[in-house]
A and B are shown apart, each in its own frame.
Chain A
C-alpha cells in the first residue's frame, strides 16, 4: 500500500470515551502532521512531528494527545472530547531533507470524520 492511510474513516464517540486515530505513511517521509478541518474554518495545524520528535503544538487542548512511535506511524489519542471537536482530522507527511531543505510536498491521508455526541 502506498501513500498515507488513516483509520478509522469514520468515528462516533461519546464525550466520556477514549479512542485513538491512526495514521500510517508508506512514503519514507520523516515528518508527520495532524490537521483539523471544521466546517467554515481554515485547516488548523494541530501537531508537527519531525524525526519522531514533536516540534510544534499549536495550543491544542490536552484532551488531544499525539504519539509518534516511529517515522511511519502517528496516533492521535482522544479523551473527554466536546461536541465542538467534531471535525475531519487529516494526517499528512513530508520529507525534510536536512540542512533546512524540504521538497515541500505534503501528502495527505483521506481523513477520519469524527463525530462527538
Chain B
C-alpha cells in the first residue's frame, strides 16, 4: 500500500526566508509524487510533479522538490518566502505499473499549513 507522511502540520517562516516542507512516502513500486497548494476557500492547484524523469523538479511560483529514493523523500523548497505563499500544501503519491498496466489513484498526506511573517 502507498502512503505519504508530511512532517509538521504547521510551518512558520519569515518573509524572505527559506521554505522547507517535508514529505516522506511509502510505496512498494516506483512512485509518482506531487505537491499541491490550497489557498483558503479554493481547490487544490498542482505545484509540481515527479514522474520518474529528472529527480529535481521545478514547479510554479519558484518552488522545487527533489526526489531522493534512498531517503524516500520528496521535500518541497523555495529559497525565499513571499507573503502570497501562505497556504496549505499537500504531498501526494500514486504509481504506474507498466507490467500490469494498472494505475493507482492519488493518495494525499494530511497537509502542512505555511504561515509567512512579515
Size of B's binding interface in residues, CB under 8 A: 27
Task: Count contacts between A and B, CB distance < 8 Å.
Answer: 56
Asked if residues A43 and B43 are in contact (CB atoms below 8 Å), the reply is: no
Asked if residues B43 and A104 are in contact (CB atoms below 8 Å), the reply is: no
Residue among B90, B105, B109 making CB contact with A56, cutoff 8 Å: B105
Query: How far is it, in angstroms, between the C-alpha of A4 and the C-alpha of B36 when the chains are bound?
Result: 16
Asked if residues B43 and A108 are in contact (CB atoms below 8 Å), the reply is: yes
Which residues from A are CB-within-8-Å of B107?
45
Q: Which of A67-112 contact B (CB under 8 A)?
A: 90, 92, 96, 99-102, 104-111
State the A residues within 8 Å of B (CB). Answer: 4, 6, 33, 40-43, 45, 48, 56, 90, 92, 96, 99-102, 104-111, 113
State the B residues within 8 Å of A (CB). Answer: 32, 34, 36, 41-46, 49, 51, 90, 94, 96-98, 100-103, 105-111
- Beyond A102-B96, A104-B49, 7 additional pairs, beta carbon < 8 A: A41-B110, A42-B109, A43-B108, A45-B106, A102-B103, A108-B36, A110-B43
